[in-house]
Structure 1
């Protein structure tokens, strides 16, 4: 049973990696896409921004609509759509078709990711659930971190089409592994849509959503401009910047493993402590970011905390609405994407108004507000518990 559950979580991790790889991997080949399709780099960027926008919009609705269907069938459907979308991307010479080949799979992205978190958590005991989910998050981090340099390397070494083949191949591997090794998982007790939507009536759910938006804003509002920060503030070379971005990504994966252990041991303490620890890192970043060695050390710790943050925010929404796991995970995906968009927008405004060095302010402000919502939710939970007893 343990081996079967471990294999299931591993396959889910590959599946999530393939989907996030498809979403984020094109960042590394946007100039190649612009040249190949004869469009501007900013227009090629639509492949990223439209994808993220669709994920944010479909996050709560698509997992809800598919929540009553056999889990294995849903996995195969989503992975199949991604494989087909990637195959179209390989052979098309029309940018509009390429854009559609990404937008359509993007609608299915939240279904698989929310389902992966739910199935991983359900495959083990309630206490061990955060560890199982943290393993799936490794696929998320790897998809975001590994996909960009790998796609860029393949495009420069071989061709743009072969980079697209890489995306299709990873999803195809996940599809075949699911088909062969994942058992049929019918939904035994289908939750009514109304029952799942009723979690939105709870103040705890909304406080959790706002917390996820703020904590994601705190991480990605600053990280979005890390390359620019390393160039303009730390004055690093292009190779050094690439190395530190890789360090951040590798540390992010480590953070997922650490998060699983922290949340299993003491979830409440871990969540409350998080804004203080990340805030301390940002303060150090502000005062020592111009020095190479301190910046390298900060990047390492920051990457670990970013990985922990993803797990913490998913846990925070799930623990607020455990009665509707698929819908709750969909809400998490939407809130996370909104937080990233909001943080990046505010960070850009601060940079244009005050300078790149001050981008950490969006992180610190978001953490302060996030801590307020965390403490409010804890107070509300304690009050409710006292009334019930």
Structure 2
């Protein structure tokens, strides 16, 4: 039964529109508040840092609550964030309302995934999870570029109005589409925390962190990069986000099918983009058509990154799926924070054109972690 997975996807769409919707308007926000682009980037990195630091604890805390009520509450807070932000409040208040929903975001993701697979077969769990995670890719092809486009034609405040509207629609789907889902048998905290003793899970967490850091050291400054290095205006950037996203939707479903067959090979295949994209962006130069082609490939290889990272981590600790996924969300968002922060520092010190090479460095570290996990698993098998 895929209905619950699709409802989880719509909720994810609302969440991602709020979290990543600022990416296309960071230059405008920086100009409005008269701050540097790296300081504006804190709107993204601070959101992600809250998730990274509190995600696992919040998920454990709410693991015994009715799943529908938690999902509904989360989207309601995201709705409030969009409404308040649309009134262009002082920067400190904009930062505060951006941070508040971050506390419950990983809880929503864990609950949505749990609800999605609760009515499915074990054989198609990864496919159901991919439907939920496709909310990221769909946001990239619809709401995020649309909000950026509206901001380019009007003002950046309208982007937050779009985010509020999407959250409201998602809220309605959850309220009317899901039954109450009280937890019948709550797992003890101790049984879930046991996965932190597994070397393969620790290494998988490091891989997740480096992979997401790799992508976001460049992707967080998508608009800035295309503005400065490819001389594209804000309207053209919104078109690039649309292309990026529409290919990403396809990639998410392809990745879901591939993960059902082989988690490690699928993760490695999409991770290869951290090598390929920086090189292709460098050689595309000022050729617009070449840049469009690279952006499309970038969207394809990037879009399933959160799905791949979560599945890769959960595969090393399937006995505690919700807690493992919350840790995957935390380490992924820690990667967003570090990638965005270091990317911003590189821009200030050297220029935005150097951010793709930072992606390459983090990508190498991510693949190294995959190699270490493979060695550990091989050693464990040989000693059984």
Q: TM-score, normalised by structure 1?
A: 0.85
> 1:310-340: per-residue Cα shift (whole Å, max 9, x none)?
2211111111222222221211122112212
Bigger radius of gyration, 1 or 2?
Answer: 1
Q: 2:120 aligns with which of 102, 118, 124?
A: 124
Could you say what secondary structure the match of 1:375 adopts? helix
Cα gap change, 1:374 to 1:66, in 2 (>3 Å): same
| Residue equivalent to 1:279 | 275
Could you say what secondary structure the match of 1:187 adopts? coil
Root mean square deviation of aligned Cα:
3.1
CA distance in structure 1 between the aligned counterparts of 2:176 and 2:25, rounded to whole angstroms: 33
Shift of the alpha carbon at 1:97? 4.8
Residues 24 and 147 of structure 1 are in contact (CA less than 8 Å); yes or no, is this contact kept in structure 2?
A: no
Residues 272 and 375 of structure 1 are in contact (CA less than 8 Å); yes or no, is this contact kept in structure 2?
A: no
1:385 aligns with 2:354: no
Q: 2:49 aligns with which of 41, 53, 76?
A: 53
1:12 aligns with 2:14: no
| Residue equivalent to 1:205 | 201
Q: How does 1:107-256 map to 2 (within 5 A)?
A: 107-144=103-140, 146-154=142-150, 163-236=159-232, 238-256=234-252
Residues 118 and 329 of structure 1 are in contact (CA less than 8 Å); yes or no, is this contact kept in structure 2?
A: no
Larger deviation, residues 259-268 vs 246-255: 246-255
CA distance in structure 2 between the aligned counterparts of 1:208 and 1:25, rounded to whole angstroms: 28
Residues 254 and 307 of structure 1 are in contact (CA less than 8 Å); yes or no, is this contact kept in structure 2?
A: no
Shift of the alpha carbon at 1:256? 0.8
Cα gap change, 1:369 to 1:157, in 2 (>3 Å): closer
Q: 2:313 aligns with which of 309, 312, 317?
A: 317
Cα gap change, 1:302 to 1:237, in 2 (>3 Å): same
Structure 2 gaps of 5+ residues are none
> 1:196-225: per-residue Cα shift (whole Å, max 9, x none)?
112111111110111011111222222234
> 1:39-64: per-residue Cα shift (whole Å, max 9, x none)?
44557665444323222222221111
| Residue equivalent to 2:257 | 261
CA distance in structure 1 between the aligned counterparts of 2:182 and 2:88, rounded to whole angstroms: 37
Q: TM-score, normalised by structure 2?
A: 0.86
- Matched residue count: 382
> 1:74-128: per-residue Cα shift (whole Å, max 9, x none)?
2222223333444555679666555443332221111112222232234322221
CA distance in structure 2 between the aligned counterparts of 1:227 and 1:100, rounded to whole angstroms: 24
Residues 141 and 243 of structure 2 are in contact (CA less than 8 Å); yes or no, is this contact kept in structure 1?
A: no
Shift of the alpha carbon at 1:66? 0.7
